[in-house]
Each structure stands twice: as structure tokens, then as C-alpha cells.
């Protein structure tokens, strides 16, 4: 008997390989940093970091990744692709362009009213979402899922139907929002540590404070709030 390890499910292996390829692509844009020791705005430390603003800076990569999302949803008819935020909008253009239904592309605008986050559809776009309109939501990074939930509620309030949610990166463990599947190219969250218990601090690795400084520099912009 050889005592070989049990074979992994081939579908799971394929998904793992795909995720590695996508991570490598994001690394090449400079958006994804691994094997680092990073200070987060929360004061926690982590070894991996993603710079949201850099994710869609390489048009050919964005087109390739958008094409993968479009292919995943190709079996369903889509009338409209909806997103919000600059990075998501660049990606959503690539998804819409590659989807066989040739969907229209519109975007919502983010804001805060009465202390609550809101997404609204510019009035010129409102006629695109009617009763039965099939909508694919596209997001670059899904962290808490709030933005995609707001987009989904917006579609349903206008009578439309959400086909699904496509994203580059899902940090939340939730694989769906309000019963809609989130299809993401990378599904990964990073462990974070308090400075007192951080294993990277224990090893004496210098702490990278660059990202927190950049964020502070950009305040009070609301473009970098958690999506």
C-alpha cells in the first residue's frame, strides 16, 4: 500500500489554482502585498494588504478579470450591469463588455444622509431599471457587504431582479447577500493581530505604517470607506 494522501476534489483544486492566478495578477498591479507587516487604520497588524485604488490600474488585467466574471454569469440573461465607486465602475465596464447579453451599464452614487450610508441612482439612469429588469451587480472589493446590499435593495425597490454579484475580491466569509450569490475571483481575508500579540512584532519585523499615513493624508474623502 502506498498510503497516498486522499485526493482533493478536482473542482476545489481548480478553484484554488484560479485564485492563485488571480492573486498573482493583483500582485502585479501593486495592489496586493503579502509577507509584509502592516499597520491598519484600526491599529491592528497584519501580514497582507490590498490597496483598493490600485486594483484596476492595468487595463488588460482588468479586462481579463472582468471577462472571467462575465463568463461565470454568461448562462443567465443580464439586461443591466450596476456598480458604484470608481474602481468598481472600471471593472463593471469590462464585465458588461464581455457578457453575451450585451447589457447596459449604469452606476449608482454613494453618499451619507441622516447618518446612514445610501446609494442612489442618478435620475437619468432610473428608466433603465423597471419591473423584471435583470441586473448584475459588480463590485471590486466586498468587505462588509454593505455596498452590494444597498445596490441590491435599490434594484428591488425599482422592481428589478438581481441576477448575482460579481467581485474581484471578497473579504467577508458570507458567500451571499440577501440570498444573491457573490462570485469573486479571490475570496480571502487576512488575520489581524493586536500589537501585543502580533507574531510579526515578536519576530522583530519592522512595521510598515505607509498605508495608514496615506489614508490619513486623503481624509476627509469618503471614497475609501469600507465597502
How, if at all, do strands 32-33 and 49-50 pair? antiparallel
Minimal CB distance to Zn ion: which residue?
198
Contact between 201 and Zn ion per CB under 5 A: yes
Q: In the numeric block, which cell numbers belong to residue 154?
A: 435599490
Min. distance of Cβ 198 from Zn ion in angstroms?
Answer: 3
Q: Identify which range of 58-66, 109-117, 160-168, 199-207 contacts Zn ion by CB under 5 A.
A: 199-207
Which region, judged by CB under 5 A, interacts with Zn ion, from 45-53, 129-137, 153-161, 184-192? 45-53
Q: Given the rule CB under 5 A, which of 62-70, 140-148, 168-176, 195-203 is the region that contacts Zn ion?
A: 195-203
Identify the bridge partners of residue 117 per DSSP, sorted by sequence position: 112
38 counts as binding Zn ion under rule CB under 5 A:
no
Q: Within positions 62 to 101, which residues make up the interface with Zn ion, using CB under 5 A?
A: none
CB 206 within 8 A of CB 47: no
Q: Out of 23, 32, 38, 45, name the contact with Zn ion by CB under 5 A.
A: 45
Question: Half-sphere exposure of residue 41, counting CA atoms within 13 Å on the CB side?
Answer: 12
For residue 47, the minimal CB distance to Zn ion (Å) is 9
> Using CA atoms, how far apart are residues 76 and 124, in angstroms rounded to an integer?
26
Q: Is 158 in the site for Zn ion (CB under 5 A)?
A: no
Q: How far apart are CA 126 and CA 157, in angstroms?
A: 11
Element (H, E) at 119: strand 116-120
Please report how close the Cβ of residue 37 comes to Zn ion at its closest, in angstroms: 6
Binding flag, residue 39, Zn ion (CB under 5 A): no
- Judge contact between 111 and 80, C-beta under 8 A: no
Please state the closest distance from residue 189 (CB atom) to Zn ion, in A: 17
The reply on whether position 200 binds Zn ion by CB under 5 A is yes
DSSP assignments along 158-189, one per residue: TT-EEEEEEEEEE-SS-SEETTEEEEEEEE--
Question: Where on the chain is the footprint of Zn ion (CB under 5 A)?
Answer: 45, 198, 200-201
Amino acid at each position: 500500500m502506498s498510503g497516498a494522501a486522499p485526493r482533493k476534489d478536482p473542482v476545489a483544486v481548480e478553484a484554488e489554482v484560479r485564485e492563485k492566478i488571480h492573486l498573482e495578477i493583483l500582485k502585479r498591479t501593486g495592489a496586493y502585498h503579502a509577507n509584509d507587516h502592516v499597520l491598519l487604520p484600526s491599529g491592528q497588524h497584519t501580514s497582507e494588504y490590498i490597496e483598493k485604488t490600485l486594483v484596476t490600474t492595468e487595463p488588460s488585467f482588468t479586462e481579463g478579470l472582468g471577462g472571467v466574471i462575465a463568463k461565470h454569469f454568461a448562462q443567465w440573461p443580464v439586461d443591466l450591469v450596476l456598480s458604484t465607486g470608481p474602481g468598481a465602475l472600471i471593472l463593471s465596464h469590462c464585465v458588461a463588455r464581455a457578457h453575451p447579453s450585451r447589457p447596459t451599464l449604469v452606476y449608482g452614487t454613494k453618499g451619507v444622509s441622516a447618518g446612514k450610508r445610501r446609494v442612489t441612482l442618478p435620475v437619468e439612469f432610473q428608466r433603465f431599471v423597471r419591473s423584471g429588469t435583470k441586473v448584475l451587480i459588480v463590485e471590486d472589493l466586498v468587505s462588509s457587504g454593505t455596498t452590494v446590499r444597498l445596490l441590491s435593495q435599490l434594484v428591488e425597490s425599482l422592481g428589478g431582479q438581481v441576477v448575482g454579484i460579481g467581485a474581484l475580491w471578497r473579504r467577508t466569509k458570507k458567500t451571499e447577500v440577501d440570498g444573491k450569490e457573490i462570485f469573486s475571483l479571490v475570496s480571502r481575508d487576512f488575520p489581524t493581530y493586536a500589537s501585543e500579540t502580533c507574531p510579526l512584532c515578536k519576530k522583530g519585523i519592522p512595521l510598515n505604517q505607509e498605508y495608514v499615513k496615506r489614508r490619513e493624508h486623503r481624509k476627509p474623502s469618503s471614497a475609501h470607506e469600507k465597502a
